[in-house]
Structure 1
Amino acid sequence: MASRDYGQFSGITRAMELVGERWALLIVRDLLVGPRRYGELATGLARIPSNILASRLKELQAAGVIRRAPRSRVIVYELTPYGRELEPVVLALGAWGFKALQDARDDQLITPESMTMDLRSAFRADVAGALPATAYSARLGGAELLIRVNGERLDVSAGEGPADLAFEADARIRRLITGELDASRAVSDGVVRLRHGDDALLGRFATTFHLAA
């Protein structure tokens, strides 16, 4: 840690020394979705060099942010209680950064972990609490997600399942979430393609997941 000592006595300074290195918070982001094996982290963070991933994992372990744990005869990485305290920080940072997103470049990917955390950042529990329980099956870029909203509770999991509305979109889904497009315009412009279910529920999705641009 000595090479990252900013020479200031401050909580923010110390936080940056612990998780401010490149890739560190993205590792934390993916582990907020759930425990991951080394290979799963490498796949989700496709551009991270293997030596950097190994270094960051060791540093985060030394800082007490993550730990190695046995799961069914394999080793996974998971957040410690101390590391999980970063969740509101990561969600707030995601909400802030989402507003500055533009359309994705061809070399930018959507992963299940990245989209899960963006949805959690955009989730409006106060709005969802007044709406009927709804399940969405969403293909978002390379991510296949089952999104279940029940009152103020949000559950996002990888894969398919029974849903009230199934749809697919690419990275332009941000235009719906930021309110740049309403649900009907998102469909007519080809940003969202409805697969099956109650088409009117796309408007509910846009109301439930919203970050004003």
Structure 2
Amino acid sequence: MAARDYGQHSGVARAMELVGERWALLIVRDLLVGPRRYGELAAGLPRIPTNILAARLKELQAAGILRRAPRSRVIVYELTPFGRELEPVVLLLGAWGIRALGEPREEQGITPESMTMDLRSAFRPEVAAALPATSYAAHLGPAALRIRVEGGTLEVDRVDGAVDLAFSTGPGIHRLISGELPPETAIATGVVAVLHGRQDLLGRFATTFHLAA
């Protein structure tokens, strides 16, 4: 059970008791990308103390939000159907939060899991449906995400493959997604470095993933 009790018979209060402890919702966010081993969760949340990660996993499991499951001789953590119901909540929170990010601080980074969910938060299926199918590779340090947009659907994974545009970036990519930074300025200032492919497709990317107020 969650440590905090607000003393209110309220849906919002109960939700906060279940996922309002520090790090809990970020664990849910990363598990929305897919099942993860304990070490993978720790690597995706590099600042979380190991005792806190263990405690949050136990609390979320006790609440029926996640479960431990065997996968090829290892144990992974995955969301239950009840836990997956948090997906639209997390996506809406992500879209709301991106607009308030501001300039990234030097110590702030992004992970493949956090970027995946932010892309899903910012995805505009109604815009994508009118654009040609396009694939991107976003290199985030040593990791790379393959982003495929076709019609009104989005797929983000870690699989290698041919893409129309490959670029490297860091936390500043959120300035592009939020609408604060035009694509050409993102390239000129080094927020985005085009690795190969059509440079003009960054404009299509910015149109497809966009959260301007």
Fold shared by both chains (TM-score > 0.5): yes
Q: What residue is the counterpart of 1:55 in the other structure?
A: 55
Letter in 2 for 1:16: M
The one-letter code of the counterpart of 1:46 is P
| Alpha-carbon distance in 1 for matches of 2:202, 2:152 | 18
Compare 69-78 and 158-167 and name the one that shifted more: 158-167
2:44 matched residue in structure 1: 44
Q: Which residue of structure 2 aligns with residue 170 of structure 1? A: 170
Q: Counterpart in 2 of 1:12?
A: 12
Secondary structure in 2 aligned to 1:26? helix
Give the TM-score taking structure 2 as reference length. 0.95
Kindly indicate whether the alpha-carbon contact (under 8 Å) linking 2:2 and 2:17 is maintained by their aligned counterparts in 1. no
- Segment of structure 1 superposing worse, 170-179 or 197-206: 170-179
Flag structure 2 segments of 5+ consecutive residues without an equivalent. Answer: none
Q: Partners of 1:8 and 1:15 in 2: how far apart?
A: 11
The code of the aligned residue for 2:149 comes to: V
1:183 paired with 2:203, answer no
Moved more, 140-149 or 73-82: 140-149
CA deviation map 1:140-199 (0-9, x unaligned): 345411101111111111253210011112211122111222222222222211111122
Over the residues paired in the alignment, what is the CA RMSD in angstroms? 1.4
SS at the partner of 2:147?
strand
Distance 1:183 1:140 in 2: 18
Question: For residues 110 and 141 of structure 1, what CA distance do their matches in structure 2 show?
Answer: 9
Task: Compare 178-187 and 85-94 and name the one that shifted more.
Answer: 178-187
Number of matched residues?
213
The question of 1:193 aligning with 2:189 is answered no
CA drift of 1:65 comes to: 0.3
Inter-partner Cα distance in structure 2 for 1:149 and 1:3: 42
Does residue 1:70 correspond to 2:50, yes or no? no
Judge conservation of contact 2:19–2:25 (CA < 8 Å) in 1: yes
Alpha-carbon distance in 2 for matches of 1:44, 1:184: 31
8 Å Cα contact 2:124-2:209 kept in structure 1: yes
What amino acid is the match of 2:12?
A: I
Secondary structure in structure 1 of the residue aligned to 2:110: coil
Q: Identity, % of aligned pairs?
A: 72
Give the TM-score normalised by the residue count of structure 1: 0.95
| Contact preservation (8 Å) 2:148, 2:155 | yes
Q: Bigger shift: 159-168 or 107-116?
A: 159-168
Look up the match of 1:95: 95
- What is the match of residue 133 of structure 1? 133
Structure 1: runs of 5 or more not aligned: none
Q: Secondary structure at the match of 2:199?
A: coil
**Matched-pair contact (CA < 8 Å) for 2:108–2:171:** no
Q: Distance in 2 between matches of 1:45 and 1:95?
A: 20
